[in-house]
Each structure stands twice: as C-alpha cells, then as structure tokens.
Structure 1
C-alpha cells in the first residue's frame, strides 16, 4: 500500500490517498493497527514511532465541497492497543496534509504562497494551510524552524477558521470547579479547535512549567479529573469509557523561568502563560495545535483559567511549552473569534510502499 510520511510541526503523520486505503478486504481500522504494529508498545513490527506524536495517520481526498480543496480524516493509532481513535482533529497532521497536497499534485502551487483550503471530516472544521511555494513551485526544503524540531522545513501558516464548536463554553461557565483530593480545582472547559479541559496548575500543586518527567509522574492521578471534565462537557456519558483523544487535558500557570527540553533557558518575560498538556495519557513534548487553539480561545474569555494570566491584548498569545515558546494569533470579528493563526513547518520525509500483513493471518507461534 503506498503512503507518504510527512513531519508536520512536532508530529509525524503517515498520509494515505483515499483510493489506496479504502475498498480493501479488511476495515480501515484493521489496516492501520496492523500497518503501525499497534499490538506492541514499541510498534517494532510496524511503521509507528511508539509515541502518540509519531503514531498518526490521515486519509486524504480531493474535496467536492464548494470552496474546499482537500478533505482529510485524522486517525490517532493506538500504541500498545489495537484501536484507532477518530474523534478529533490534529493541527500538526493538518500542516502535513497541506504540504502533501502540493507534493502529490492534488493542489497546484499558486504564487509565492499557496493556500490549501482543507476540511477535517472528523469534526467538520475548516483549516487552511498557507504553504511557502517560492517561484510558484513545490519545494521539499525550507528554512522555517519551530520549537521542538531541530531541523528546518517548509514554512506553513495554519489558519483554524471559526474554531469554536457548537458552544465555546459547553457548560456555559468560564470556570467550573472539579474536585480533586478533597478540594475544588478551577478549570475552563472549552470547545475550540478541540474540546479541552484547562486546569489551574497552582490548585493541583503544579506551576505549569514542570519538566516532562515531573509532569508525567503526576498524570496518572489526574486522569480522574479528565473523566469528570468529559462528562460535564457532554463528550462522554457517565457509563461510557472516555476517548483517549478528547477532551484535551492540561494545566496552565503564570510565567516563570524554566529550561526547555532542548536545554535553552526560557525567561518569564518571554511568554504569557505556561502550559503543559497531555496527549493520549502521556505528556505532550510540546503542545498539540488543536490544544493551542483551545488555549488561545480561552484567553478571550473573561474569568477563564488562561485569562487569569494574560489578556492577549495585541491579539497574540505566547505559550511556554516544554519545547519552548510558541505563538498564536487571534483573529476577531466583533465579539466572535473568527480564526486562530499559527506558524508551523513541514517536511516530506518519504514516499513508501508499506507491506501490510492480512490482519486475520495466524501468527507462526499459534500454528
């Protein structure tokens, strides 16, 4: 089966043309978990990278929706679990899809920057990728750097259009109090980019500037809060298991000096709010782009856990993440949030033929 591996932002995403993956004997879920080697946490017998940020896929197609070039469906493929979650969008993979659309010929370059108009079919949301195309041509390399990636790539501006869900605040309140260890913890439950629960770090005995191992050590005890948030937001029913993908879950705190994972010292004055997010029950090494959108949108809400630290007065919010500082630009339309713009980079790593065993094949050991 043909596929293309693209690094988008701080994730790697395997991209499949819809014609190459649909219509096979096995279901798409079976094809993906087998191709990625999901039954093993190391994904040693597959194309997965054994982390949530490197076990991603998207199925890409030409769109017949007016004003849209590309439809893409995002898949978060299990690591050590034979399942695929289809419940959310992924901004880093959207960045990869934007570059892939030009590399594959689905969209032709137009001018110095080419706008690829995309629709995420998981959520119905609209995302545009503005890809650098110097001289009106696709280029495989570029000089755009993003925190969390050591090497440059092609510059891609990602624009989430009308990012709020049906209700920006599903509970109607800028802050809800959820209970943890006998005390109330303020949280902003917001639906923008993706449903997200943003907890006040101080109330949990955190700062929001923790190094990844320290934050990861606290995550298991905090997952009950995520479940409570999912139920309050209507993402999950009380008697149902909560998706690993949504709601996004993290803590926010006041700026303070910290050391990024690359060893760079980040000063409190360099950013507006500290953020540590989880991805598939593990610390995210930077921050997912849909989580960035959620944090940026929360900065516009009076009384929110994010607004307590910044007003994003000039329309830009700077987030202190484990990988360094990343920025989001808010695009208002009166009282409505019309969009959120992010600066990313992408690189096509490989065009490959993937050999996928039949999912129902009996292992040698069993025979």
Structure 2
C-alpha cells in the first residue's frame, strides 16, 4: 500500500475468467488483519451498494468477485488462491464458497506473473484453492515460449474467440461435505412449508448442488432470466428447497435463519430434458446439441450462463445412477453438453463407486480468460483510520 495524500493506493488487476469478472489482489499488498483487509476490499469494490457505483465492482454477483493470491503454501502448488464473493447488499465477503470461472483467470495470472515456468505446448499451473483445500490444474497454452492468447475456442456468454484454458479439478468429490452424496441417497424427498413435496438430488463435487426437476417447480427449464427472476413465488419455493437440501447435506442447521445472499451453499439447480428446439439468450440450438438443460440459481437469481462448479457437479451427477440428472441426461459417456440461458457448456466427469460413496477421477471443462487492466485502486485513508 502507498499513501497518496488522503488516499491509499493498492495494486490491483482486473481479469475476466469464464463468465465471471473480478479483482486479483496479492495478500502482500493488503493488511494481515483480516477484518481491516476485508473493509478495504469492500471499499475497493464499492460495497455495500447494489450498483457499486463508487467502486470497481460491476453491480452483479458475477462481476463482484475476488481472488486473493500469494506464494504457494504447499509444495504441490504454484500459487495459492482464496476466492471471495463480495456482497452487493451487505458489508461482508463470503469465503465459504469457490468460483471455478475465476480459476481460469488465476491460472493465466500465475503464468503471466512467473509463478509457473512456461513450457510448450501446455503449461500446467497447479492452483491451491484454500477455500476447499484442493488443487486444480489450469492448462495454459504456450507457443514459441510465450502464452498463446489467440485461438478458436469460445464459451457461451462471452463474445469472441480465445485460446482454451482447460481446468481439471483433482479429487473434487465431497469438496464441502466429504461425501459425493452427502445424504447417502441418489434421490431424497423434502417437504416445504405449504406441504408440497419435491424430489431432489444433492451432489457435492467442486460445489454442493441441490438438483430439482424444472417441471416439478412449474417451469420448463428453457426459461431465460426475466421469467425466473421476476417470479417471486418460484424463487421462494426454490429457496425453501435449497435450505432443505442444505440441512440434508449438513451445511445448514435446522431452524437456522438463512438467505441466499448470506448463506450461499448449497446452490440450487433446475434441470430438464432437452426439447426439440431451444431458444437461448444469444442463439437457438437443436436438441441433439444438448444433453441436459440446467438453470443455475446464484444468490437468489438465475445465473446468466452457468457456474463452472455447478457444471462439474452436474457432469458428475449425470454419471451416478439414480440421481435426477442421470435420469434426465441424454449423454451416455463422460462428457455432458449443458444447455443454459446463454448457450451451451461442455463438461466432463469420470466417477467410480467407492464403498458406500463415489469417487471423482476427473472433472474438467474448458474456459477462457483475459487480463483487462492493471493499476492501483484508491482507498480513503479514513477506512484505515476507522479500523486502526
């Protein structure tokens, strides 16, 4: 940190990773006191404020993301990564979740900053994700001794073409609950306040996800953001189902008062079989190009595309006999093509039975990333003084 009159300057990098965008901050540039550090970061983002007009955040959950990075704390990794979801509404940063999309940005950042030595044709950057105590390998394309930025790979929700960054989540089963099927069952039934009962599948792979059939909550699974986000009754039903699934998973205590913006795990996803013709935000696709439809709810609203962690859990669930996704998918192999509001997403998972649970051998997907800017963020000295 550097003083600039009544302002403090902190080095920062803004990067896009997948369909997310956030700040990359080095731990060494921030105070060691976590409370003061978080207040500085919140001020940097412009939170709490739904528009984040006085900060660097983008006013949505997808653009209010944080990557705290530093030298590796384990010899198996090149870099440490701590993810934080910076709240728009509250003076809080949630470190109890992770973001797979931003991992692509962290992998690229590590390669650019020399945390990993470049090697052709692929540099494997081993990222230690402190949130989940797991190592993820980001495969960064390298050509003629330099990072290859241009390519012919695209992802739905992001315009243009780039080189592909493959993310491989090692040993990702039971990330938060230590069990791939936290309840021990492929399908459970939960009852909400008005007496309605719903079948759900709770799967923990990269993120803990509660899967429910779209048709069971009164939708088709082809809806875009407005029909979902404007339907308060539907969102309330999904939130009640999510909480019940969280109780089964041991992530939420019975009678605990929770909200999606303050208690973000588990996530809830509506899934459906692909239909004959599906209109998406930016395109229309044929049913044969999609194996399963997915609608991912993040912080109480429909994700404009699809979270990587949710895709990994969905791909794994499709491989586990008896789960709701496995009953709906048209995929018969390890790869699954997911239809989401912005297009399609490719993911793959390989699982095997292990005693009373399942083990994930591989969970991977392709992403793109880009450094958008680097410089210094300005923070009022008063933020420091208030926590001095």
Shorter-chain TM band: over 0.9
Out of 350-359 and 18-27, give the one that drifted further: 18-27
Q: Distance in 2 between matches of 1:143 and 1:104?
A: 24
Correspondence 1:37-56 to 2 at 5 A: 37-56=46-65
Alpha carbons 2:319, 2:350 under 8 Å: kept: no
CA distance in 2: counterparts of 1:28 and 1:207, whole angstroms:
44
**SS state at 2:28 partner:** helix
- Equivalent of 2:315 in 296, 309, 324: 296
Is the CA contact 2:165–2:366 (under 8 Å) kept in the aligned structure 1?
yes
Give the Å deviation of 1:139.
Answer: 4.3
| Secondary structure class of the residue paired with 1:308 | helix
Q: 1:142, CA displacement in angstroms?
A: 4.2
Q: Which moved more, 1:143-152 or 1:85-94?
A: 143-152
Cα deviation, residue 267, structure 1:
1.6
Change (3 A) 1:301 1:140: closer
* TM-score (norm. length: structure 2): 0.88
Specify which of 1, 7, 28 is matched with residue 37 of structure 2: 28
Structure 2 equivalent of residue 307 of structure 1: 326
Asked if 1:323 corresponds to 2:342, the answer is: yes
Structure-2 residue corresponding to 1:95: 104
Pairwise CA RMSD of aligned residues?
A: 1.9
List per-residue Cα deviations over 1:136-167 (Å, max 9, x = no partner).
31245544311110123342001111111111
Between the aligned partners of 1:281 and 1:78, the Cα distance in structure 2 is 12
Query: How many Å separate the matches in 2 of 1:249 and 1:268?
Result: 24
The answer to whether 1:184 aligns with 2:197 is yes
Alignment of 1:344 onto 2:367? yes
Aligned partner of 2:131 among 112, 122, 126: 122
State the alpha-carbon separation in 2 of the partners of residues 224 and 183 from structure 1: 11
Tell me, what secondary structure is at the counterpart of 2:321? coil
**Structure 1 residue 206, shift from structure 2 partner:** 1.4
Structure 1 gaps of 5+ residues are 363-367
Alignment partner of 1:223 is 2:239? yes
Distance 1:182 1:324 in 2: 35
Matched, 1:259 2:279: yes
SS class of match (1:50): coil
Measured in 2, the distance between the counterparts of 1:77 and 1:70 equals 22
Match for 1:237 among 253, 258, 275? 253
Q: How many residues matched?
A: 361
